Amino acid sequence: MSRNVTSGRRYQTDRTEAISDGVFAVALTLLILDVKPPDGNAGQLAHDLAAIAPRMGTFILSFAIVAYYWLVHHLIFASIRQVKIALIWTNFLFLLTIVVLPFSAAILGRYPLAEIGLIIYGINLAACTSTLAAVWFVADRGKLTEPLHANQRRYVVRRFGFQSLVALIGVAFAHIAPAVSLAIFVAFPIAYALTYRRTYY
């Protein structure tokens, strides 16, 4: 794939990809900072480890989710030939939602069944998905990507749309059934990893 700049308003993708990878790396690292080892004596270690289990579980869940978003972002940019200013700013908007995820994960880890914590986490996931969809849309509309067939484009749109809907359903259940809301968020990365089709990115 040629990376030559053909217009003064188009730029190579390398710096946009580099800063994106850097943000993902930092976000993945920040997720573990809320999981601190126990400070008690050895006799209480099992009890203390059980006490931090929700935080560890949220870390693993959020790590998988961020890894999933990195994968999709990477595959989208693998099909992008060049970037424009609009795409760069849209990508920064998506990265903002990724940077916020460690904060949302820390709240969920400390209050795993609290309504507000679940709502914050779910809205963060929906924002991640919708802004990543915007990255793809801006690139596709600006003809910066490899051409897609109509059925491929419909598949991508449906996938992003349903993914955002799942996150919002989790938010809706936060008040009436917090455990169901949490289960939806846990199933979030698993379902999309199992249903991913590489040929449509």
Is residue 80 helix, strand or coil? strand
Nearest alpha carbon to residue 63 among 90, 33, 40, 36: 33
Q: What are phi and psi of 80, to 5 degrees?
A: -90, 125
Q: 19 exposed, middle or buried (CB, 10 Å; 0-12, 13-18, 19+)?
A: middle
Tokens (6 digits) for 188 = 């979030």
Residue range(s) defining the domain that contains residue 161: 14-200
Q: Is 1 a member of any domain? A: no
Q: 126 exposed, middle or buried (CB, 10 Å; 0-12, 13-18, 19+)?
A: buried
Number of domains the chain contains = 1
Q: Is 6 a member of any domain? A: no
From first to last of its 201 residues, what are the pLDDT tens digits of the chain?
444 444 447 888 999 999 999 999 999 999 999 888 887 777 787 877 888 888 999 999 999 999 999 999 999 999 998 999 999 999 999 999 999 999 999 999 999 999 999 999 999 999 999 999 999 999 999 888 888 788 888 888 888 988 899 999 999 999 999 999 999 998 887 777 776 665 555
Q: Is 2 a member of any domain? A: no
